Chain A
Amino acid sequence: MSGNQLTRRTFIKTAGATGVSVYVLWSGPGTGSWFGPRMVLAANLGVLNATEGKETLAMARQLFPHDKLGDEFYWVVVESIDRDMAGSPELASRLRDGLAQLNKAAGGDFTAVTAEVQLEAMKKLEGTPFFSDMLNKTQFYFYNNKAVWSKFGYEGSSWEKGGYINRGFNDVEWTQG
């Protein structure tokens, strides 16, 4: 039964993107399926209105602030959350209600107040299901974005480039002495 799924072959040589080769041992037909989130920048939101979208963006920025990164990186989060909301009316209503609470806690308009007031407002909602959802989803969607990785020096998939055996796995030199 296993034979047709995973044939043991000797060193199948797969050409990498950079012309470097990686030796791999095993191969098979496979049907690689995609479990992770897809990061497609969409122009429109399905559930959140434009104001709510901006509020979500502002909150995402305060949850994980990276001053050197533009709003486009945080829009990915907003769009992903919007997509999750489209798939769950329960989530949609919880998050919309939460955003309303957030505005209230900020004195009316979360996007119009200073960062200090925003933080105070967020602290008031910490621990609520709305806040936990926003925290977890922002963390996941923001840091699981390949465009963000390179900003922090993470190089992502490496096997197709032959790993790091010839690309700096041991290039630290300041540890001498």
Chain B
Amino acid sequence: MNFSYLTDPAHWDPSNPGSIPNLILSHLGYTALALLIGAVIALPVGLYIGHTGKGSFIAINAGNAGRSLPTLGLLMLMVTLLGLGLLPVLIALTVLVIPPILTSAYAGMRNLDHRVVDAARGMGMRPWQVLSRVELPMALPIMLSGFRNAALQVVATATVAAAVGLGGLGRLLIDGLAVNDYSRVLAGAIVVAALAVLVDLFLALIQRLIVSPGLKGS
């Protein structure tokens, strides 16, 4: 094993645009942007379907359909259709995060204990209060696990996106393979793997902080 690329201080210099910290930042930037756009689209739809029960078919099958889409094919399809650039990649990444977010929002709303919702109504809560103070907090654990899945998926796919000219940590893997610089490939693999694990841990921590303590019974 050759760690020379990883341990070379020059590759950690933030003033160099291709350095590891900058690649991490751009990687996280794509991830956050795709998750944000995906959540804005998928959350309301998933919550609406889960709340009303209309269109359950879409929500149930979205998850499976999303998993079966080959990420690399989708990326290359978008880039071939729209040309190189951030937009096609962002569209592909967003398409990938929508199914898990939508399906989990739906599942979270569907798995609510209806007695609790009835009790909230019986206490005189308005529909909006029932949604914001009872249904959403109770659906949160399942919704967040879907969000974590989506985040992992984007971090992985943003790596692949280097193959279609995007920045991010995939650059180390793709460029390293192209010039047979195995030390660079190894550095990329280690940093990407660590980043994915850290992102997941970070989201798990957030989940622990914002989920109501009353819902944490084993």
The finding on whether chains A and B are genuine partners in a shared complex, rather than unrelated, reads: no
A: which residues have CB within 8 A of B?
none
B: which residues have CB within 8 A of A?
none
